[in-house]
Structure 1
Amino acid sequence: MKTSEPLLFLQGFLKNPKRVGSLLPSSKFLAHKIVQSVRWDKIRTIAELGPGTGAITRLMRAELPQSATVFLFERDPKMRNNLKKTYPEFMYHSNASYLLIKMHQENVHHLDSIICGLPFFNFSREMRHNILSQIHTALRPEGTLVLYQYSLHMKKRLAELFEIEKIQFVPFSFPPVFVYVCRKRPDEGQT
């Protein structure tokens, strides 16, 4: 019997709350807001960091150009295996801390966009810095980062690395969430 997505997510949270970061998967309101924030006509390569049960992945798949290369980084093995069954055409990895290594292994030089739901608030300062640095390096100039967090604690650090185009509050999510839409500055090449 297949485990329901909310139950699978809850199990992941109870097993490791610092890595999962929420009791429930992303709401449909949040998923739509994130997908609306990506310029799909510009996407050839994209990564989703922390897709969980695939609430955003499902909508993302419908928008993707057919030839797009997609990386999904999900730490929880049950959720990752569930995603693999549903989206066998995507590439799967367990740890976003290896973003650049996995891209290199697949001969992908840059990403056009990254969608990130990692619970940065729960990470050590070093882990946050490492992952954000890799995100910055991975994105092509003018590439987009769409990041959602449950507070504004990332605003200062994101502003140091990216041009923040907008921050949107999504109240119809539990808990309510902020969506940052950031762009890598055009004058910044691969670092």
Structure 2
Amino acid sequence: MTQELAAEKILFLKDFLLNPAKIGSITPSSSYLTEKLLASLPWERFNVIVELGAGTGVFTEYAAAHKRPDSVFLVIEQDPQMQKALKARFPQVLFGSQAEDLPALMRLHNLPKADCIISGLPFAVIEKKDHLKILAGIDRSLSSHGKFVAFQYSFQMYCTFHRIFRKVKLGFTPLNLPPAFTYTCCK
């Protein structure tokens, strides 16, 4: 394990212990989960990409490596230490702090609707009124042909996602700690 990866895992665990409702897991997402969630996306068609709850940047790194050079990438991470580390690693990316403010952040950066929104947010531990506000913002911010991809540690969000999106594809990744459900949603 590299020194940088070890430091990320320690930061993640420390933040989880201090505030489990905001972090949602004891460890960052695995490469297995990243591949399962992001590998099949049509990166060449995405002009605007948004990531909610970037954490230590596991999905950020994948998206930055696979997006078109001219695509715009907005990353939202509320933890100040994690956001600072992400800004240092990804200086070409736009940043915001609150997923609840997604539509306002997109207006602030003069962005059209997103072609892809990636979520690492732990909806199961976010207060219902807040996660409903976030989902309403996702619905308003995603283009009519856009994709919303997320993971959760249960399938409890399936019905909620299905109320917003026409198509919801559920997957499962047992090789993650903890094992995770993946959601690929289309309007």
Structure 1 runs not aligned, ≥5 long:
185-191
Corresponding position: 1:149 with 2:152: yes
Give the whole-Å Cα distance in 2 for the aligned partners of 1:160 and 1:15: 33
Match of 2:77 among 74, 77, 83: 74
Give the whole-Å Cα distance in 2 for the aligned partners of 1:182 and 1:172: 22
Aligned to 2:15: 12
1:43 partner letter: F
On the 8 A contact 2:103/2:141 being kept in 1, the answer is yes
Aligned to 1:138: 141
Alignment of 1:38-117 (within 5 A): 38-117=41-120
Secondary structure, counterpart of 1:66 in structure 2: coil
Match of 1:124 among 122, 127, 131: 127
On the 8 A contact 1:151/1:178 being kept in 2, the answer is yes
Q: Deviation at 1:41?
A: 1.4
Alignment of 1:157-172 (within 5 A): 157-172=160-175
Cα-Cα RMSD: 1.3
Aligned length: 184
Q: Deviation at 1:165?
A: 4.1
Secondary structure, counterpart of 2:32 in structure 1: helix
Task: State the 4+ residue runs in structure 1 displaced beyond 3 angstroms.
Answer: none
1:42-93 alpha-carbon deviations (Å, 9 max, x no partner): 1010110011101111111110100111111111111110000000110111
Aligned to 2:186: 183
Give the whole-Å Cα distance in 1 for the aligned partners of 2:113 and 2:95: 17
Please give the TM-score of this superposition, normalised by the length of structure 1.
Answer: 0.93
Give the whole-Å Cα distance in 2 for the aligned partners of 1:65 and 1:84: 19
Give the whole-Å Cα distance in 2 for the aligned partners of 1:65 and 1:117: 22
Structure 2 runs not aligned, ≥5 long:
none
On the 8 A contact 1:10/1:23 being kept in 2, the answer is yes
Q: Deviation at 1:125?
A: 1.3
Corresponding position: 1:36 with 2:39: yes
Aligned to 1:187: none
Please give the TM-score of this superposition, normalised by the length of structure 2.
Answer: 0.95
On the 8 A contact 2:48/2:112 being kept in 1, the answer is no
Secondary structure, counterpart of 1:4 in structure 2: helix
Q: Deviation at 1:11?
A: 1.4
Give the whole-Å Cα distance in 1 for the aligned partners of 2:117 and 2:22: 19
Q: Deviation at 1:111?
A: 0.3
Q: Deviation at 1:163?
A: 2.3
Q: Deviation at 1:179?
A: 0.4
